Amino acid sequence: MLKKVVSGALGAGLVLFGAQAFAGEWKFNPRACPDLVEDRYDRIEDRRDRRVDHGRRDRRKDRYDRRENRRDEAVTVCPVRAFYYQPDRRELRRADHRGRGHGWGRHDARPPLKYDRRMRMYYRYAEGRKIYIRG
């Protein structure tokens, strides 16, 4: 009798905890983030400015621009649309059997976020850096 209870509990545990393994994941699209696009253009402009002129005023202006760019790159703020939900292939297959096209509807939801009290903004780690979410 005890063997049946243990095997039943083990089977129920496998069924309950195994279903979470087929979930999709939230991914980050850096091209949908205007702050990162602006940082990229600033770096390109810095490289071009370094080649153009080498006068005293120009070097001072270039140093000022690089300092401003470092300050701007220190905090990255992106809209929610920069994150998208990539459903698992099994999740898509299960959704097609139920007449839905894009998983369980989580593609319209927001990614899981944490709150930063100092900045008073929500954030998420992506690609090794803290991305603050606007909107």
**Integer CA distances (angstroms), 118 to 10, 115, 123, 132, in order:** 45, 9, 12, 12
- pTM to 2 decimal places: 0.64
Within 23-135, strands assigned E span 25-28, 76-79, 83-86, 114-116, 121-126, 129-134
**Domain map of the chain by residue range?**
23-134
pLDDT values of the chain reduced to their tens digit, one per residue, 135 residues: 777 766 766 676 655 565 555 577 889 999 999 999 999 999 998 888 888 877 888 888 888 999 999 998 889 999 998 998 888 877 766 555 555 555 445 555 678 899 999 989 999 998 888 999 987
Phi-psi region of 33 (alpha: psi -120 to 50; beta: other; left: phi over 0): beta
